[in-house]
């Protein structure tokens, strides 16, 4: 459905649209804050928020007390006790362009009635893509740790936050000069390397893995059993405070120094700058370094440095006037190309795959991206060690769209595409008019064999229940399955089936299900059989057309043999003239 421009909405249409957007935002807030399972990207969510705000700005009389613009986060879960924040934990307005950042700085100058030439000092901080937490200390001792919740009331997750350890969240404040009652705020996050290692181990052990570090941090922090987050790699950055609203520093930068003295980690990339151009310089530097930080960020937060000016500026609805979040482009990110691997497909095609420093793009952690073929590598001049711009094409397939040439290492050399198959050593030939090189090893190439077997048992081919890709690869490595016929021999090989139970831990039921799944596919539709053969240029639709033309395997097989021999027969003619042939 195409949305009507806000400028074209009547009052009645605007009222209906605000109601629709409010329902959608409430649902997505609950999924994000309570379920830790967002269904849409941050960019799509921001677009909903912005449209809602634009409509309210045009029709201010339609703003309701329970409007999404008047609240932060979502309601709390019944699984945890409630915690009332001493000072509300508000959200931030967003900026998406340089001009919006300049407007932000100009608005502050106008509000404070400062001369146009006077530069305002700001603190620019990386916007960590994690979960907000509030820590209440009374007489220097941690009393309560809470989630943000709806901004006024959060969830008591003290036991879980304590498991992060003294180096991240101290149980007793260090140093001196802290108020008798102070509420320290910050972000719980997962370092990208630790997150990657956790997911790899979880997948190997058949446990739950997570789509991105943010979901991992959220799911860990809100576990009912503190023993679970205790074994997970989580960190914390302190960057703000609730109560007291004043008293221990005169500036934002000074407050960060105090928090560090009290024992909290603060972000080393936080920096004090002057004016909008100073902010934009920090933004561009962090965007360029994003892939090497070791944690996910989705933008930069700008805050007026002087706390007395923050107090004068005050708040608007759900956000402060003195701060804004400058978000990175929605579906793109920069990262480092650590290597180029060559994958061999079932038809022998050699496909280059970029191995990347993990980075989150559109809410998904990306570690690999397609480079298509050797011409594409040469056209973009992609080299190992380059900083590259990554995007998810159609929000699905990650691909490299450009290189950042000014960040290229001095020793980076053009990539030499292999002329021999990395799996079997056979010559890789690029035929005239083809974009890809292909291994000439055929069925002596182990990579081609495995990929052909995977294709053979795929969902649109034989689709054998109980014989997935993982089991197939394991059986191939043991030498049990080297060609498709071996699959059907396995089902009647008592020695191998006994070994499955004795050596691989298969239970009686698992073995019986595997055998039943294989036996059930001894007879299948002809189009599935043709597709399963993995013949070049013969896809699902062409397989169906060929099956309709020849009707039986015998007639199709005869046509194929005669065609291979170059015999001018009726079968050969039928094959050549078949639809899609």
Active site residues: 127
Instruction: Provide DSSP, 365-411.
Output: EEEEEE--SHHHHHHHT--TT-EEEEEEETTTEEEEEEE-GGG--TT
Question: Taking a C-beta distance cutoff of 8 angstroms, is the pair 77, 222 a contact?
Answer: yes
In contact, 323 and 302? CB cutoff 8 Å: yes
Q: Are 51 and 14 in contact (CB under 8 A)?
A: no
Measured N-to-C along each axis, helices 570-577 and 540-550 cross at an angle, to the nearest 10 degrees, of 150
Task: Report DSSP letters for 514-564, one per residue.
Answer: HHHHHHTTSS--HHHHHHHTT-TT--HHHHHHHHHHH-SHHHHHHHHHHHH
* C-alpha pair distances (Å), 548 with each of 36, 113, 146: 49, 80, 65
Of 271, 310, 286, give the one whose Cα is nearest residue 128: 286
SS3 8: helix
Give the residue carrying structure tokens 């139970």: 501
CA-closest candidate to residue 132, choices 276, 313, 277, 301: 301
Residue 275 token pair:
């004016």
Angle 103-109-111 (CA atoms, 0-180°, nearest 5)? 100
Cα 195 → chain centroid: 12
Tokens of 12: 């009645």
Do the beta carbons of residue 579 and residue 545 sit within 8 Å?
A: yes
CB neighbour class for 234 (10 Å; exposed up to 12, middle 13-18, buried from 19): buried
Give the three-class secondary structure for 129. coil
H helix and E strand count, the chain: 20, 20
What are the phi and psi torsion angles at 450 (to 5°)? -65, -45
Quick one: which of 66, 56, 52, 48 has its CA closest to 11?
56
Backbone angles phi, psi at 338, to 5 degrees: -90, -20
How many CA atoms within 13 Å lie on the side-chain side of 134?
Answer: 27
Put residue 47 in one of left, alpha, beta given phi > 0 → left and psi -120 to 50 → alpha.
Answer: alpha
Q: How far apart are CA 25 and CA 480, in angstroms?
A: 54
Give the 3-state DSSP-derived string for 291-347, with helices as H, strands as E and coil as C.
HHCCCCEEEEEEEECEHHHHHHHCEECCEECCEEEEECCCCEEEEEEEEEEEEECCC
Phi, psi for residue 417 in degrees, rounded to 5: -70, 135
């Amino acid at each position: 459905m195409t949305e009507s421009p806000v400028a074209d909405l009547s009052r009645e249409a605007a009222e209906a649209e605000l109601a629709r957007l409010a329902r959608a935002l409430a649902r997505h807030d609950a999924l994000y804050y309570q379920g830790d399972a967002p269904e849409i990207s941050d960019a799509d969510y921001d677009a909903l928020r912005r449209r809602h705000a634009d409509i309210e700005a045009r029709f201010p009389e339609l703003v309701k007390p329970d409007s999404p613009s008047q609240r932060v986060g979502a309601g709390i879960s019944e699984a945890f006790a409630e915690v009332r924040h001493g000072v509300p934990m508000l959200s931030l307005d967003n900026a998406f362009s340089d001009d919006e950042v300049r407007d932000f700085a100009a608005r502050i100058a106008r509000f404070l009635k400062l001369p146009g030439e006077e530069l305002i000092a700001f603190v620019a901080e990386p916007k960590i893509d994690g979960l907000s937490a509030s820590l209440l200390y009374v007489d220097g001792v941690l009393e309560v740790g809470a989630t943000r919740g709806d901004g006024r009331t959060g969830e008591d997750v003290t036991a879980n936050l304590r498991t992060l350890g003294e180096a991240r969240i101290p149980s007793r404040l260090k140093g001196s000069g802290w108020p008798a009652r102070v509420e320290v705020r910050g972000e719980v996050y997962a370092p990208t390397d630790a997150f990657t290692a956790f997911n790899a181990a979880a997948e190997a052990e058949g446990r739950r893995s997570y789509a991105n570090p943010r979901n991992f941090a959220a799911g860990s922090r809100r576990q009912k059993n503190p023993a679970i987050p205790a074994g997970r790699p989580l960190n914390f950055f302190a960057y703000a405070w609730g109560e007291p609203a004043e008293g221990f520093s005169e500036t934002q930068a000074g407050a960060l120094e105090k928090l560090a003295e009290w024992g909290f980690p603060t972000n080393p990339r936080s920096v004090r700058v002057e004016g909008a151009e100073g902010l934009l310089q920090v933004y561009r530097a962090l965007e360029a370094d994003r892939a090497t930080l070791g944690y996910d960020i989705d933008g930069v937060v700008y805050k007026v440095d002087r706390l007395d000016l923050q107090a004068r500026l005050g708040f608007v609805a759900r956000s402060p006037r003195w701060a804004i979040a400058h978000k990175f482009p929605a579906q793109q990110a920069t990262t480092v190309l650590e290597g180029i691997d060559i994958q061999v497909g079932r038809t022998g095609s050699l496909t280059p795959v970029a191995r990347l420093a993990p980075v989150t793009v559109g809410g998904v952690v990306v570690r690999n991206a397609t480079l298509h073929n050797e011409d594409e590598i040469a056209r973009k001049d992609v080299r190992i060690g380059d900083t590259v711009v990554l995007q998810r094409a159609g929000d699905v397939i990650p691909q490299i769209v450009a290189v950042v040439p000014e960040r290229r290492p001095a020793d980076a050399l053009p990539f030499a595409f292999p002329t021999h198959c990395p799996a079997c050593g056979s010559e890789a030939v690029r035929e005239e008019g083809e974009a890809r090189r292909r291994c000439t090893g055929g069925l002596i190439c182990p990579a081609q064999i495995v990929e052909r077997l995977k294709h053979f048992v795929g969902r649109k081919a034989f689709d054998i229940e109980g014989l997935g890709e993982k089991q197939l690869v394991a059986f191939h490595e043991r030498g049990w399955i080297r060609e498709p016929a071996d699959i059907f021999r396995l089902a009647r090989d008592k020695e191998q089936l006994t070994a499955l139970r004795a050596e691989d831990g298969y239970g009686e039921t698992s073995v019986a299900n595997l055998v039943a799944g294989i036996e059930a596919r001894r007879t299948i539709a002809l189009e599935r059989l043709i597709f399963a053969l993995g013949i070049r240029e013969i896809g699902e639709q062409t397989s169906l057309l060929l099956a309709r033309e020849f009707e039986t395997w015998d007639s199709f097989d005869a046509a194929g043999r005669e065609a291979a021999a170059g015999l001018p027969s009726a079968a050969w003619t039928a094959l050549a003239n078949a639809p899609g042939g």
